[in-house]
Amino acid sequence: MTDALSRPTSVLLVGGTSDIAIATLHALRSPVLRRVVIAARPSEGRDAVMSDLERAGYLGVEAVDFDAADTASHEAMLDASFAAGDIDVVLVAFGVLGDQLDFEEHPDHAVEAAQVNYVGGVSVCLRTAQRMKTQGHGALVVLSSVAGERARRSNFVYGSTKAGLDSLASGLADSLHGSGVQVLIVRPGFVHTSMTSHLAPAPLSVTAEDVADAVVSGLKRGATVVYVPATLRVVMSGLRHVPRAVFRKLPI
Amino acid sequence: MLSVFDAAEVSAAVVDAGARGVLARGAGRSYGDAAQNGGGLVLDLMGRTSFDVADDGSVTAYAGVVLGDLIPGLVAKGRFLPVTPGTRYITVGGAIAADVHGKNHHRDGAFGDHVRWIELITADGTLHRLARDGSFDEQRIFYSTVGGMGLTGVIVRACFDTIPAPTSAVRVDTERFNDLDSLMAAMVAGDDRYRYSVAWVDGTAKGAKLGRGVLTRGDHAQVAEVYGQPLKAIPTGNAPKLASPPIPMSPLNRLSIGMFNEAYFRRAPKHRVGEIQGLAAFFYPLDVLAGWNHVYGPGGFLQYQFAVPDSGADVVRSSLERLGSIGAPSFLSVLKRFGPGRTRSPLSFPIQGWTLAIDVPTRVNGLAGVLDGLDELVLAAGGRLYLAKDSRMSPHTLESGYKQLDEFRAVRSDLDPRGVFTSDLARRLQI
Ligand SMILES: Cc1cc2nc3c(=O)[nH]c(=O)nc-3n(C[C@H](O)[C@H](O)[C@H](O)COP(=O)(O)OP(=O)(O)OC[C@H]3O[C@@H](n4cnc5c(N)ncnc54)[C@H](O)[C@@H]3O)c2cc1C
Ligand SMILES: NC(=O)c1ccc[n+]([C@@H]2O[C@H](COP(=O)([O-])OP(=O)(O)OC[C@H]3O[C@@H](n4cnc5c(N)ncnc54)[C@H](OP(=O)(O)O)[C@@H]3O)[C@@H](O)[C@H]2O)c1
């Protein structure tokens, strides 16, 4: 049960090794937090996250195996996560960025990315929604991206996977209205994380901590959509109306 | 939410409860999540409103009866509720389940101290008549149910004693104090002379004025004292809907809360003795403001109420200071002295000493950290927080404050091994 100050007692990070997920966990930390589930593929990275969290003094940290592409295993993953009690916040943070030119040359790679980002997202979000509806409370936080808002020449495959995920989450938010469950869609711009470390930062870039703060305040306000930084809301609404011939040529 | 009328309906609902369990609700006046059961069943017992006042003044009432609805009949017989909280829109079930206290705790104890017997439906659907002087096993369940926040079962009916009240008026002495020390000293020195005592504390005053307040103390007036005085009758009738529209004024901000407190303080007489007040004015000043809890605007507010032994009196000052330091404005801070607690009720809140209730808007920056810090002071002083008002403590704070929590858990697991009775509060605090 999240308390009156919007502090969760239990958190599930799906894609638990993501930089944004970990930063968000730190921002949600409080004396009432007593259970943290890290859902991720078994790896050295996951082991490192586990020992970091334990060293930092987090209580009740556990790992469950999760591969976004293997949707047949998701039911068991969520069962394992919810078995020990209600979960107040589920953060859907897994995702691959990929490379647009590679996607165009190897459509199979694009299909794989769609399988992870979109199909995996459909599976995790719907299964989580069922469980939260049953418990009558909770927040599902979905990492979308401004890239999904209007597909750009430079990364439309990734953008389309986020567009699909974003639409799903947005419909889910409406379907869960009145159930006690909140859906929070997070649309960051460029975030400095391991996903983007090989790229030159775009304008208005932010850190994982900025995204975390936006998530915390969005949860507090009961928001459905947050942009990070907040100014991107205006920028994107402008970009949506730029004529296609111009948009195509924009250096973004 | 399911409306239930008689014991058979309650019993059927309990036996059929699904995986998310079941919980009884009264008037929903508890501040946090005590009367909520997310995803599960909540039983509304307010449909059955009959009660009886016996010649000896004892009341036998169904659990959903509203305390305020008992008052006219009691007053007519020269009696009054043995204990009443600051609102009359709570139910008999809620009064027992939270073991509520009033301005007379130092004299008369909590509501549970006046209860003769209860009828409780436990997890197996059976009805038990539990008397306070019953068998050992009966008493164990009786005392755990008093203060047990609905987690031992559903109270369907209860019998409790009342106190004599020769008139429907209260004789009140009011005194104003410019700082916390003089206020607290006066309470220690003089509360014993009064049946009722409570201090309103200015939650916005700082520095030398920190904790300045208005102390009102009194007792039921004798007939001779009110002879010839016009008295306003106490309004009766049902509780207003909880979801009342917001008060049509701009939400209180730091400035207007400060102004309210200043005005309240200035309006109070420096020292006035023997004023005759009506029951409603004295006991329920907030009830006239239906929807007053919307005054903080969107985002809502929370109540922080702790009790500490006399040796922890400093915590009162520290909490006002610390909340002041983050500019958390309080519309309503109430300070009271408690008499001895009832150790046989593991979750009953009152312990001898001081209790302070403060309400603060949840949107104040830094509030979570300050309250967590205050929890530690309260625990270090041997104190605890009130479950009926809590919406944010940690399981650790609960366990450290209520040393007999395990006794309660043992009773609960005997009565309800599958955990049929549960609430959002119980889940959040791992009761
Ligand atoms: C303005 C205001 C002032 C207040 N002042 C005081 C005060 O001075 N002193 C004080 O002690 N409290 C005070 N309170 C708190 C209030 O008295 C308690 O929260 C009380 O329990 C509310 O009763 P209710 O009928 O609304 O119960 P609810 O809020 O509906 O329920 C409270 C608890 O009782 C349980 N419960 C209710 N009915 C039953 C039943 N039939 N069987 C088993 N369990 C049941 C519920 O499960 C829940 O855990 C105040 C509250 C308000 C809003
Ligand atoms: N960084 C940005 O600029 C930005 C902008 C907008 C939105 N986002 C979104 O924010 C989310 C978090 O990204 P981040 O920036 O924190 O990047 P990150 O640190 O690289 O995190 C991505 C995570 O996805 C996981 N993942 C990838 N494929 C997976 C699979 N098949 N199964 C399970 N997990 C898989 C990774 O887990 P492994 O450890 O197992 O690889 C990794 O933890 C992503 O959804 C991303 O699209 C990022």
Using the Cβ of A34 and the Cβ atoms of chain B, whether some distance falls under 8 Å is answered with yes
Is the per-residue pLDDT at B287 higher than 80?
A: no
Task: Find out whether the beta carbon of A20 lies less than 6 Å from any atom of ligand 2.
Answer: yes
Longest dimension (CA), chain A: 54
Q: Is B159 exposed, middle or buried (0-12, 13-18, 19+ CB in 10 A)?
A: buried
Is the per-residue pLDDT at B290 higher than 80?
A: no
Among protein residues, the one with the nearest Cα to ligand 2's atom 26 is A94
Query: Model confidence over B97-127: pLDDT tens digits?
Result: 999 999 999 999 999 999 999 999 999 999 9
Cβ atoms of A40 and A15 closer than 8 Å: yes
Query: Model confidence over A79-98: pLDDT tens digits?
Result: 999 999 999 999 999 999 99
Q: Is A55 exposed, middle or buried (0-12, 13-18, 19+ CB in 10 A)?
A: exposed
B424:A1 CB<8 A = yes
The residue-averaged pLDDT of A231-247 equals 90
Predicted confidence at residue B253, as pLDDT, reads 65
Closest Cβ opposite residue B395 in set A34, A86, A134: A34
A5:B367 CB<8 A = yes
Task: Find out whether the beta carbon of A227 lies less than 6 Å from any atom of ligand 2.
Answer: no
Among protein residues, the one with the nearest Cα to ligand 1's atom 16 is B30
Query: Model confidence over B264-275: pLDDT tens digits?
Result: 888 888 899 999
Is the per-residue pLDDT at A196 higher than 80?
A: yes
Cβ atoms of B292 and B246 closer than 8 Å: no
Is the per-residue pLDDT at B90 higher than 70?
A: yes
Is the per-residue pLDDT at B277 higher than 60?
A: yes
Q: Which residue has the higher pLDDT, A34 or B247?
A: A34
Report DSSP state, residue B207: G
Mean of per-residue pLDDT scores for chain B: 90
Among protein residues, the one with the nearest Cα to ligand 2's atom 48 is A191
B38:A180 CB<8 A = yes
A3:B40 CB<8 A = no
Distance between CA atoms of residues A204 and A229, nearest Å: 7
Using the Cβ of B419 and the Cβ atoms of chain A, whether some distance falls under 8 Å is answered with no
Cβ–Cβ contacts within 10 Å for residue B241, how many?
Answer: 9
Ligand 2: centre distance to CA A15 (Å): 7
Distance between CA atoms of residues B69 and B55, nearest Å: 18
The residue-averaged pLDDT of B141-149 equals 98
Ligand 2: centre distance to CA A113 (Å): 11
Query: Model confidence over B207-223: pLDDT tens digits?
Result: 999 999 999 999 999 88
Using the Cβ of B391 and the Cβ atoms of chain A, whether some distance falls under 8 Å is answered with yes
| Least confident span in A121-130, A189-198, B230-239 | B230-239
Predicted confidence at residue B266, as pLDDT, reads 84
The residue-averaged pLDDT of B277-298 equals 71
pLDDT > 90 fraction of chain B, expressed in percent and rounded: 78
Annotated domain spans of chain A: 10-247
Task: Find out whether the beta carbon of B85 lies less than 6 Å from any atom of ligand 1.
Answer: yes
| Least confident span in A23-27, A109-113, B124-128, B208-212 | B208-212
Is the per-residue pLDDT at A78 higher than 70?
A: yes
Report DSSP state, residue A52: H
Letter string b/e over residues B113-141, b meaning 16 or more CB atoms within 10 A of that residue's CB: bbbebbbbbbbebebbebebeeeeebebb
Predicted confidence at residue B296, as pLDDT, reads 53
Report DSSP state, residue A203: T
Is the per-residue pLDDT at B247 higher than 80?
A: no
Closest Cβ opposite residue B368 in set A1, A30, A136: A30
Interface with B, mutate which of A2, A5, A82 (most B CBs under 10 A): A5
**Kind and range of the H or E element at A137?**
none
Mutation probe of ligand 2 site: the residue of A18, A122, A227 with most atoms within 8 A of C-beta: A18
- pTM score, two decimals? 0.91
Ligand 1: nearest atom to the Cα of B155: 42
Predicted confidence at residue A72, as pLDDT, reads 97
Which of B425, B423, B427, B430 lies closest to B42, judged by CA?
B423
Is the per-residue pLDDT at B295 higher than 90?
A: no
Q: How far is CA B167 from CA B72, B78, B224, in A?
A: 11, 7, 10
Is the per-residue pLDDT at B232 higher than 50?
A: no
Distance between CA atoms of residues B133 and B23, nearest Å: 27
Predicted confidence at residue A54, as pLDDT, reads 95
Using the Cβ of B40 and the Cβ atoms of chain A, whether some distance falls under 8 Å is answered with yes
Mean of per-residue pLDDT scores for chain A: 96
User: Does ipTM top 0.95?
Assistant: no
The domain A10-247: what is its CATH number? 3.40.50.720
Q: Give the domains, in start order, of chain B with CATH numbers.
A: 2-164+400-429 (3.30.465.10), 169-390 (3.40.462)
